[in-house]
Chain A
């Protein structure tokens, strides 16, 4: 009986992992689902909204697209819009971003001396979104006790569930 429950638990965890990894492959993005952390894209996106990304390399970056990028050396993804694109004949693209709700472009956010972003900085392009759903992640980050409580409840549920 215990053997069965452990297997059951392991199946759930590995299925979740497979779905997540599968999503990463299908979208081409290392992080296909991100949560909006700031209000710099209001009123389109608010803190806590969930964004679905794709990162197809053959799809060139164009002005007006909403991209999620990471500044070199920093872990925080930023969701802003592309406002300038300069592409060379060989496919090399450099671009500039700006939050809809910000007065100035993002040069202040980039690395010291960096004036443009490149394809390698991009985590993905926003293709779809769901409002509010990402709030759960933000709450779990700000109140870690909530995260542990949630995990404990989920774990207890799976382990204690009995076949009828």
Chain B
């Protein structure tokens, strides 16, 4: 379950720059992402004997006039074996600048944020898994000129 508050400042170098603050609640151990899923019953074990770490990342996916598909990673975290698998982060700012390739953020109603992770084994296959929750975020129609970030 995530709440988002967006400010929107730009343009810089004639590209839109978006600001998003977010909360992340995730229960990686049980494969839940704040949303009930069928995995509940199986108590899926993500950190099994062959998992060294998880590389988690929050990515924003959206379409613009310029580009049919855009994906920008806003935040990432390395979760080592033995770390607390339950995340409860509040009021996080994005780690990386959310630049669009052009001016496609203004007035864009549908930015989808998803939490995914890369399972890094001790040896073997490297799968990419997407969490089961996603949030859709709209950006306002106007630029903000005062920095409230």
Contacts and interface: CB of A to CB of B under 8 A. Distances in A.
Interface of A: 43-44, 62-66, 81, 83-89, 94, 100, 105, 126-131
B124 A128 contact: yes
B112 interface: no
A127 B126 contact: yes
A85 B69 contact: yes
A113 to B, nearest CB: 15
Interface of B: 52-53, 55, 57, 59, 61, 66-73, 76, 78, 80, 96, 99, 101, 116, 118, 120-126, 128
B99 to A, nearest CB: 8
Nearest to A50: B123
A87 to B, nearest CB: 4
Contacts of A65: 128
**SS of B interface (majority):** strand
28 contacts: A43-B52, A43-B80, A44-B53, A63-B72, A63-B73, A64-B55, A64-B57, A64-B116, A83-B72, A83-B73, A83-B96, A85-B70, A85-B72, A86-B70, A87-B68, A87-B69, A87-B70, A89-B68, A94-B101, A100-B78, A127-B126, A128-B124, A129-B121, A129-B123, A129-B124, A129-B126, A131-B122, A131-B123
Contacts of A63: 57, 59, 61, 71-73
B123 A86 contact: no
Given A100-B55, A128-B124, A129-B124, A62 B80 contact: no
A84 B102 CA distance: 14
Contact of A88 (B67, B120, B128): B67
Given A129-B123, A131-B123, A88 B72 contact: no
Contacts of B125: 127-128
Nearest to A101: B78
Contacts of B78: 43-44, 100
Contacts of B71: 62-63, 84-85
Nearest to B74: A83
A128 B124 CA distance: 5
Q: Which 4 A-B pairs have the closest CB atoms?
A: A63-B71, A85-B71, A83-B73, A87-B69
Given A86-B67, A89-B68, A66 B57 contact: no
